[in-house]
Amino acid sequence: MERQQPTYLEYKERMPSPGVLALIYFLVFAAGMAFLLISSSGASYPTPYDPVEKAQHFYSAFSRGIRAQSFFIFWSALPLGIYTAFMTARLRGLNLHRGGVNIAQFGGFGAAFFIAMSGLATWVLSQPGITSDPGTTRMIQLLAFGTGGTGAVVLSGLLIAGICVTAGIDKIIPRWVMWSGLVIALISILSMVNLVAPDASILLPIGRFTGIIWMIITGFTVKRKKLLLKQQET
């Protein structure tokens, strides 16, 4: 009986590294925050839990900075969506067709969509006359917060979880990346509790920024693994 050598197929990818796309996503998002921070001289950003008068004053006083931030928020949705497409394409190219890939794709595209919606809602808040009415101001502020905050972070958690359960099982990513990703995904998904318990809003920035860092690390560490096709004995 002679045991033949296994036959392998190497996946060759011709696309930008997902790590580069995640880094661009972070830099664009951070640029919007930095621009607004500078243009508003570090003024406290109003949350939906602050008096609506504070939001009216902030959005009218720093409308140019808000408008620039809305541009960067909208723009950041693009590399996130492309990251999702390329990362899931790589996993499928490695012959990993588990449900986790579909979960990651759903989460990533959904998060990108919500971030784009948040950017457009923030742009509306920067327009003249919008913040003169308290009810309109609060409604659009809540829309921007709900989509760019809760919606985007929770769905980003699904993106991370889907990548972890798919790539982690086959050791396409390091074990520590998989386990840390599962923790971040859990925090991100649990952040939806802020809809009924405002104190849980602290989970939103934790899930968002640790999730972005995780996506950058994963994008650069995910392997181009050789796949075992068959092994026969004669």
pLDDT digits (tens, 9 = 90+) for 196-212: 999 999 999 999 999 99
pLDDT at 91: 83
Share of the chain above pLDDT 90, in %: 66
Worst-scoring range by mean pLDDT, 32-36, 93-97, 117-121, 142-146?
93-97
Nearest to 45 by CA among 122, 109, 135: 122
* C-beta separation of 113 from 151 below 8 A: no
Q: Is the pLDDT of residue 15 over 70?
A: no
pLDDT at 1: 44
Share of the chain above pLDDT 70, in %: 87
Q: Is the pLDDT of residue 171 over 50?
A: yes
pLDDT at 168: 84
Per-residue pLDDT tens over the stretch 80-90: 999 999 999 88
Q: Is the pLDDT of residue 3 over 60?
A: no
pLDDT at 17: 80
pLDDT at 93: 77
Taking residues 215-220, what's their average pLDDT? 93
pLDDT at 37: 92
Worst-scoring range by mean pLDDT, 34-38, 152-156, 168-172?
168-172
Q: Is the pLDDT of residue 4 over 60?
A: no
pTM: 0.86
pLDDT at 201: 92
Q: Is the pLDDT of residue 231 over 60?
A: no
Nearest to 131 by CA among 122, 47, 218, 173: 122
pLDDT at 94: 75
Instruction: Return d(Cα 59, Cα 231) in angstroms, integer.
Output: 65
- DSSP string of the chain? --BPPPEEEE----S--HHHHHHHHHHHHHHHHHHHHHHTTTPPPP-TTS-HHHHHHHHHHTHHHHHHHHHHHHHHHHHHHHHHHHHHHHHHHTT--SHHHHHHHHHHHHHHHHHHHHHHHHHHHTSTTGGGSHHHHHHHHHHHHIIIIIIHHHHHHHHHHHHHHHHTTTTSS-HHHHHHHHHHHHHHHHGGGGGT-GGGGGHHHHHHHHHHHHHHHHHHH---PEEEEE--B-
